[in-house]
Amino acid sequence: EVQLVESGGGLVQPGGSLTLSCAASGFTFSNHALQWVRQAPGKGLKYVSAISTNGDKTYYANSVEGRFIVSRDNSKNILSLQMGSLRAEDTAVYFCARVAPTYSLDHWGQGTLVAVSS
């Protein structure tokens, strides 16, 4: 069974940093691109970042470019998102998701909440 489990969320002050992790199991991790998607409270889904199968290509939404860094460890089946210079508007549930060969997100984690507040 494919599983994606996020961790690392929490309360952080504006300007602070946080690193999210997504532990994967039940599939060949290195065969799939991965994405981070976030959802602010009561709002819709927003693309955050993506990473290629071997990590050589990374992509970011304009709103997080230069502040967030996505990476992966194919030996440990872990996806990470380093978040810096956090702002109140980064407050959201962050989901990791697997990119299927059909260019859709076919499996999602349960999400982890990041709250940026003083």
Q: Does the protein bind another protein through residue 8 (CB under 8 A)?
A: no
CA distance 92 to 84: 15
3-class SS shares of the chain: helix, strand, coil, % to 5:
5, 50, 45
Interface with another protein (CB under 8 A), residue from 9, 21, 27, 47? 47
Interaction of residue 83 with another protein, rule CB under 8 A: no
Interacting residue with another protein among 23, 45, 69, 115 (CB under 8 A): 45
| DSSP state string for 57-86 | -EEE-TTTTTTEEEEEETTTTEEEEEE-S-
The answer to whether 62 contacts another protein (rule: CB under 8 A) is yes
- The residues that touch another protein, with contacts defined as CB under 8 A, are 35, 37, 44-47, 50, 59, 61-62, 95, 100, 102-106, 108-111
